[in-house]
Amino acid sequence: MAPIWRDNPRLETLYQRVLDYPLPPRTRDYFPMDRDVTFGKNLVMGSGRYCDYRIRLTLHTALTQEEIQTYYSKAIIMGAETKAMISLYFEDSDDAGGRRGAVEAYDSHGWNWNWRCM
């Protein structure tokens, strides 16, 4: 159970860091009760034995894609061992002039005897 006791707090810490990072201006968390928090093997495909952490928030914003990309390009959110990788996904603008999208923080490390990463 030691690897699970180690990796579960790492996932929780990454999740809290993502939530603590301020959202861009004129942006809100679209589904605060339905966030995606995932831990497992090779979440972004590929081969090998890796333990991956992924946090995904759905956002609604009045900003352009470029403004959101600029904002998150400066983000420093530490992962389990290094800086988390940030990815952004967008939908087209809605009738009210806003846009829905997602911000995803991802981190990974080599297999460390956690059976969930085998």
**Residues in the chain, overall count:** 118
Q: What is the pLDDT of residues 67-87, one digit of tens each?
A: 999 999 999 999 877 889 899
- Is residue 56's pLDDT more than 80? yes
Q: What is the pLDDT of residues 28-39, one digit of tens each?
A: 998 877 787 766
Structural domain harbouring 100 = 2-117
pLDDT of residue 118: 58
Q: Supply φ then ψ for residue 85, to 5 degrees.
A: -85, 135
- Are 55 and 37 within 8 A, CB to CB? yes
Number of domains in the chain: 1
pLDDT of residue 68: 93
- Are 89 and 68 within 8 A, CB to CB? no
Rounded distance between C-alpha atoms, residue 66 and residue 63, angstroms: 8
